[in-house]
Amino acid sequence: MKFCCRTFSFVAAIILNMNFAYAQQNDNSKNDTIPLRYGAHRISARKDTMMQRWRDYGLGQFIHWGVYAIPGGHWENKTYHGASEWIRTWSGPASPKDWKSIYDQLYKQFNPVSFKASEWAKQAKTMGAKYVIFTTKHHDGFCLWPSKYTNYTIANTPYRKDIVKEIVEAYDAEGIDVYLYFSIIDWNHSGYSSSIPKNQADSMAYERFKKFTRNQLIELLDRYPKAKGLWFDGSWDAAWIKQAAFTNELEKELRELHPGLIIGSRFRADDYGKRHFDSNGRMMGDYEQGWERKLPAHIDLVKTNDWDAVMTIPPNQWGYNSDWQSSYIKTPYDLTDMLMHAVSMNGNLVINFGPDGKGNIRDEEDNVAVKLGAWMDINHEAVYGTTYANLPKPDYGYFTKKDNKLFLTVFNLPLNRLVRIAIPKNFGSAPSKANLLSNMNPLALKRTDMGLDRDQNIYYDVTIPDHFHAKDPFVIVFELKQLDKDKKDYGDSKI
């Protein structure tokens, strides 16, 4: 009994000590009570230039392309009702006969004669994208590069040329950073399994799959040294989650092979199977990769984390779907709103494109690129390199901030044309000037006497002139002036 207690307090002391050690480095430390071998590799955000570059992107492009673009969600006048890139899983009475074997032969028809990487890259540049995430291999296992570890690749299609290489070179030439999407799930590999191996034979097969996965990842980094990062997907299977020791090692190995490499939180699980954030609440990668087709409703949900949100233009189609008629298609306006929403909370928005089987980008996506691009041309200063402004979210739109500039992107202008912003008294600085970003015309800025109460904000008014008719969201730039702490420059601070 005595021994037991002593052992217990010894262990408790170690845990408390560990806690203390973390406490000195990071104020999230109160949760660091669980010893982990395969937890997060770092206790605070990366500060290197590559990661800073990632933070400054604001806007990215996602591309889902593979043999699923050939059926485009349909076959023999039948409609697959899931996401088109999942069409291989089509089953049941309403599915085409022998569908899986049909699908597995489709690569023999993959011949995107209209594909021009340079045009895609130029279009992305026009849109204002600073990075692209490209599907090198989706869940079906089809590789858009000539991998030497499988025959199920672009090399064995009529097209033959290395599409990943064409993408990397074309986007790089436009100054757009390339990230390689890679699915862990691989329906084409005989050793792949979603469930935990149950016997010796299963285990051996899964070991083969692990080796294959590692080989392909090393191959990708080796072939495409210009890639800035890997965007992992399909890592939620029970079998993969169990591989914490292997994936922990593999992540380290990939980072050593490719210094500066950026990997999100969707790659591996910790000792206890926790994903994205380990059992102590620490992020398992360089940025949070869990926002998909949905944005955080409140800054508290992302705190000071780095994060990206990947967004489809239809409700949930990543690969090409020939039918965009039967669902709501987000407009360039919707996507501008989402972009500012994401950036105002320190995130990047990544808009997905799903080219067709011939290599054409559909008109609707082209329209998004052109319209969003025209908006970005005028307003990009409110996007690139800006951060969360640390101010309450205004109903008019979104705040972003860079150095002494505070940007308000206005989506909702009230009928009285008055924009009244609330700046907390302890904010440290206050707006001293206001301009329209589009033409830098000055706007009258007034501090407003709101009377006395316990409200801790100071209010500033900008009235939008009658002759200014915005058809699109517009940006007001406030120049912030440091407040002198001794001189009480507050309208109603004498209560």
Residues in contact with ligand JFZ by CB under 6 A are 83, 85-86, 233, 290, 292, 310, 318
Q: Which is nearer to ligand JFZ, 83 or 339 (CB)?
A: 83
CB neighbours of residue 403 within 10 Å: 9
Q: Which residue has the tokens 């933070």?
A: 55
- Alpha-carbon gap, residue 139 to 4, rounded angstroms: 50
Closest CA to 394 of 460, 443, 349: 460
Q: Which is nearer to ligand JFZ, 187 or 324 (CB)?
A: 187
Q: Report d(CA 202, CA 206) in Å as an integer.
A: 6
Least spacing, CB of residue 181 vs ligand JFZ, in Å: 7
Reading the block at residue 256, the tokens are 């050593």
User: Considering beta carbons, is residue 30 or 294 the nearer one to ligand JFZ?
Assistant: 294
Supply the DSSP symbol for 389. Answer: -
- 310 or 368: whose CB is closer to ligand JFZ? 310
DSSP strands (E only) in 286-444: 288-292, 307-311, 347-353, 397-402, 405-410, 418-424, 429-436, 442-443
At closest approach, how far in Å is the CB of 137 from ligand JFZ? 11
Least distance CB 80 / ligand JFZ (angstroms): 13
- Which of residues 187 and 388 has its CB atom nearest to ligand JFZ in the complex? 187
Q: How far is the CB of 112 from ligand JFZ (least distance, A)?
A: 19
Residue 319: CB minimum distance to ligand JFZ, A: 7
Beta bridge pairs of residue 35: none
Q: How far is the CB of 353 from ligand JFZ (least distance, A)?
A: 12
Q: How far is the CB of 183 from ligand JFZ (least distance, A)?
A: 7
Which conformational region is residue 407 in: left (phi greater than 0), alpha (psi within -120 to 50 degrees), or beta? Answer: beta
What is the rounded distance in angstroms from the CA atom of residue 495 to the CA atom of residue 493? 6
Structure tokens at 143: 């590789």
Beta pairing partners, 487: none
Residue 258: what are its φ and ψ, rounded to 5°?
A: -140, 80
Q: Which is nearer to ligand JFZ, 46 or 276 (CB)?
A: 276
Cα dihedral angle (321, 325, 326, 327), rounded to 10 degrees? Answer: 80
Cβ distance to ligand JFZ smaller for residue 54 or 62? 62
